[in-house]
């Protein structure tokens, strides 16, 4: 995309305003609206308790190690989990 904005500067030469073509302005509004929707969804999800499928609950109830159960549920290897937790793989 080319820069088709016109910059209007103040008396000191600093950028003060930008004039955009209407289609670019409308595209930016859509992007901003989508970003706001994502932030709203993320905020909502942060307030909700995490839920798990029955398979995870059954494995936990069958005394499987919780770290292994949740690691596999999230599709992580031991190495990936160790890196995410800043630990050595052998510790995990």
pLDDT single digits (tens) 41-53: 999 989 988 889 9
Domain of 77?
54-84
Alpha helix locations (H) across the chain? 22-47, 54-61, 66-73, 78-84
- In terms of Cβ atoms closer than 10 Å to its own Cβ (0-12, 13-18, 19+), residue 76 is middle
Integer Cα distance of 24 and 34 in angstroms: 15
Integer Cα distance of 81 and 68 in angstroms: 10
Residue 92 counted as domain residue: no
Answer yes or no: do 43 and 58 share one domain.
no
Mean pLDDT of the chain: 92
Integer Cα distance of 81 and 67 in angstroms: 10
Answer yes or no: do 13 and 39 share one domain.
yes
Answer yes or no: do 38 and 67 share one domain.
no
Name the band, by pLDDT with cuts 50, 70 and 90, for residue 56: very high
Residue 42 counted as domain residue: yes
Q: For residue 19, what pLDDT is reported?
A: 96
Answer yes or no: do 60 and 31 share one domain.
no
Answer yes or no: do 28 and 60 share one domain.
no
Residue 90 counted as domain residue: no
What does pTM read for this prediction? 0.48
Beta bridge partners of 9: 15
């Amino acid at each position: 995309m080319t820069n088709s904005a016109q910059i209007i500067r103040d008396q000191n030469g600093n950028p003060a305003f930008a004039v955009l073509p209407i289609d670019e302005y409308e595209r930016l509004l859509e992007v901003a609206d989508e970003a706001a929707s994502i932030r709203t969804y993320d905020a909502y999800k942060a307030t909700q308790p995490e839920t798990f499928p029955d398979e995870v609950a059954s494995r936990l109830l069958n005394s499987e190690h919780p770290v292994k159960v949740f690691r596999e549920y999230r599709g992580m290897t031991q190495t990936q989990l160790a890196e995410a937790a800043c630990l050595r793989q052998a510790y995990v």
